[in-house]
Amino acid sequence: MRVHTSLLTLAECTHIRDENGIRIITDEVKDHIEVLLSPERGVMPIEPSIFVIDKARELAWQHGIFLKGIDALHVASAVFTGCRSF
């Protein structure tokens, strides 16, 4: 199975918190993220090209789906790749 995600997912992994809301950035966590999000595990990052950005705008302008900027790019990346589940 392949998982398509916005390239921005790789940057958003800096916001990992434990059950108490405390940010955790240990070497173990970093290693786990790198393995989890690797192409070898089937994760395919989608670059936020002008075409993906256009899809993000279409979500709001044509479909009435209003998301925050980064969230819109994640969903638009899925739509752009023909994703059938999100």
Instruction: Give the model confidence (pLDDT) of 3-42 as tens digits.
Output: 778 888 877 877 788 889 888 888 888 888 888 888 888 8
The rounded distance, in Å, linking the Cα atoms of 74 and 70 is: 6
End-to-end CA, the chain:
14
Count structural domains, the chain.
1
Establish if 54 belongs to a structural domain.
yes
Full-model pTM: 0.69
Record the tokens describing residue 13, joined without a space: 């992994």
Instruction: Give the model confidence (pLDDT) of 48-83 as tens digits.
Output: 889 999 999 999 999 999 998 889 998 998 888 888
Establish if 85 belongs to a structural domain.
no
Establish if 42 belongs to a structural domain.
yes
The rounded distance, in Å, linking the Cα atoms of 24 and 86 is: 27
Establish if 86 belongs to a structural domain.
no
Establish if 46 belongs to a structural domain.
yes
Domain hosting 28: range is: 3-80
